[in-house]
Chains A and B, each alone.
Chain A
Amino acid sequence: MTEYERRARAEQRERFDFAVIANWLSPGERVLDLGCGDGRLLRYLNETRDVTGYGVEIDHESVLGCIRNGVDVIQMDIECGLLGFEDRSFDHAIISQALQTMHTTERILTEMLRVAAEAVVSFPNFAYRANRAAIAAGHMPVSEDLPYDWFDTPNVRFFTIVDFEDLCARLEIEIRERLAFDEAGREVSDDPNLNGSLAFYRLGRKS
């Protein structure tokens, strides 16, 4: 694959991820995007669904990227919680493929459901078939959705669909919807923990 093809494919993949998230949002709603990178998701959501909101990001270059993209961003460390954000001040809090890069998993999930009515979470499923095969062959997996070598990864938490759902149960978080996709972007219904490479969740508080 040439660099161009790789980039084109990554972009296509990204658009696909964005579309999954966009589908769960109502037009015109207000969102908070945690670990928003350069703000491209928010920009997409604004352009396609008239969604407004803020990104939260710690990385300096990403904050600059947000500003260039015309996206409102607040530079702070999510690991310390969302102090300052008011309860239920957003329709959705989103964390798109960033939860696995943070240490305080429980706090972040709890905080997301404090500041927003619902949370949208996506993450790479460590138990995906190809990842299991890599481990079985004696190596840490490198795949479409886990594209980093072990010595150069931003990921600090490695978990599976089953693990995540166990945690949600423990935190009394209600799973309102789940979607899983394989590396080719096909939706998976049969044994998602084995066949799903990337998982998306729509979460709420058990009332």
Chain B
Amino acid sequence: MQFDTPLTLKSGAQLAGFELVFETYGTLNAAHSNAVLVCHALAGSHHVAGHYADDPENIGWWDNLVGPGKPLDTRKFFVVGVNNLGGCYGSTGPLSIRPDTGKRYGADFPLLTVADWVAAQARLADHLGVHTWAAVIGGSLGGMQALEWSLQFPERIRHAMVIASAPKLSAQNIAFNEVARQAIISDPDFHGGHYAEHGVIPTRGLRLARMVGHITYLSDSQMAEKFGRQLRHGEHKFSYDVDFEIESYLRYQGNKFAAFFDANTYLMMTKALDYFDPAYDFGGHLASALARARARFFVASFSTDWRFAPTRSREIVFALLHNRLRVVYAEIDCDAGHDSFLLDDQHYHALLRAYLGNIAV
């Protein structure tokens, strides 16, 4: 979908127009009251559920949640997945051709914030005839978008579902992002972000960035259970090749990611994470920032998530309480760390099913 009205970004930069790719599942009802927006996290896309007829392997990233009879039931809801602005799955981003120069944006693509994504998503909502979302749901960075929706468009969202998220990044979170960025930026193939013009990709940097990221997505206990100190070759090889299985896993994840994800998008996404802080304009007082919200909230965290630990979700919960807003908060026992939000843990999905089931459409 092409939008031709200029969009002024939080940074002050302006996009003359932009394109968003999206997918929908289910049917918008006559009252237009059953629409749910699914917001993706760092590496996600508009392809939320199902698979394409010609590509059965490519299953949507939240397929276990979205579909007929699933917790986010597409027989009841009209579900929308969108690739955020600046993404690399078809929406306008660093890989797109600049209308004024005829060249790729590359490093010149403006830095985006969560607020900018939500502003762009609102344009899509207008286009789809959705005045008010029944719910906006997301995990991690996606949860931040759900929260941002409740602040930027309080009247356009009835339920904000903020999962495994945080009201802002901690210094440690930013530190990990910075390591990831430096890995990319210091790759000789990065060329100041104009790698496309040189016909190369900063694969090594991307690979490292993803490896660091992956460590933060998993819990220590799960890593121990999944890999432990298992040896690839059954013995110590006394080399820098893969000795331990965890090394193999991280390399695999890094390689897979570097093969399809755009480095500039990755940089921009991590910056969007770093900048996200609704309380910033309110002297750091989150409760004041959330005073605008009108939505009902579902907030959930996972016991072993150390990237966005339960205490981070509680900050949101108590800021909502301060404003006498309605909120359900669940702290889910799940071994899988931050990535738990993508899994189909039985209790987690039962909670989502129950909450979504009670949303009137």
Query: Interface on A for B, CB 8 Å cutoff?
Result: 30, 54, 60, 63-64, 66-68, 70, 72-76, 84-86, 89
- Assess A60 versus B328: contact at CB under 8 Å? Given A67-B354, A84-B314, A85-B321: no
B324 surroundings in chain A (CB, below 8 A): 30
Since A64-B350, A67-B358 are in contact, a sample of 12 more A-B pairs with Cβ atoms closer than 8 Å, ordered by chain A residue number, is: A30-B324, A60-B330, A60-B347, A64-B347, A66-B328, A70-B358, A74-B317, A74-B321, A75-B329, A75-B330, A84-B317, A89-B322
Say yes or no: A68-B314 contact (C-beta < 8 A), given A74-B327, A86-B321, A89-B321: no
Q: List residues of chain A with CB within 8 A of the CB of B355.
A: 67
Q: CA–CA, A85 to B324, complex, Å?
A: 11
A64 and B351 in contact, given A84-B317, A85-B318 (Cβ under 8 angstroms): yes
CB distance from B311 to the nearest CB of A (A): 10
Residues of A with C-beta under 8 A to B327: 54, 72, 74
Contact with A along B213-231 (1 / 0, CB 8 A): 0000000000000000000
Query: Which chain B residue has the least Cβ–Cβ distance from A67?
Result: B354
Size bracket, chain B contacts: 20 to 34
- Check B237 for interface membership: any CB of A closer than 8 A: no
A84 partner residues in chain B, CB cutoff 8 A:
314, 317-318, 321
Q: Taking the nearest CB of chain A, how far is it from the CB of B273, in angstroms?
A: 24
Least CB distance from B159 to A in Å reads 12
Q: B22-77: which residues lie under 8 A (CB-CB) from chain A?
A: none
A residues less than 8 Å from B330 (CB atoms): 60, 63, 67, 73, 75
B residues adjacent to A (C-beta < 8 A): 314, 317-318, 321-322, 324, 326-333, 347, 350-351, 354-355, 357-358
Is A75 within 8 A of B331, CB to CB? yes
Q: What residues of chain A lie closer than 8 Å to B347, measured between beta carbons?
A: 60, 64
Q: Which 9 A-B pairs have the closest CB atoms?
A: A84-B318, A67-B354, A75-B331, A74-B329, A68-B354, A75-B330, A67-B355, A72-B326, A70-B358
Residue of B nearest to A56 (CB): B329
Chain B residue numbers with a CB within 8 Å of A86 are 318, 321-322
What is the CA–CA distance of A60 and B351 in the complex, to the nearest angstrom? 10
Q: Is there an interface contact between B321 and A64, defined as CB atoms closer than 8 Å?
A: no
A85 to B321, CA, bound (A): 8
CB distance from A15 to the nearest CB of B (A): 23
Q: How many angstroms from the CA of A60 to the CA of B347 in the assembled complex?
A: 8
Closest approach, in angstroms, between the C-beta of A87 and any C-beta of chain B? Answer: 12
Find the A residue at minimum CB distance from B317.
Answer: A74
CA distance A67 to B329 in the complex (A): 10
Minimum CB–CB distance from A147 to chain B (whole Å) comes to: 27
For residue A74, which residues in chain B have a CB less than 8 angstroms away from its CB?
A: 317, 321, 327-329
Instruction: Give Cα A58–Cα B317 distance, bound, in whole angstroms.
Output: 15
Q: Give min CB distance, B350 to chain A, whole Å.
A: 6
Residues of B within 8 A of A63 (CB): 330, 351
User: In the complex, what residue of chain A is closest to B329 when comparing beta carbons?
Assistant: A74
Contact partners of A68 in chain B: CB under 8 A: 354, 357-358
- Residues of chain A within 8 A (CB-CB) of B351 are 63-64, 67
Point out the residues of chain B lying under 8 angstroms from A66, CB to CB: 328
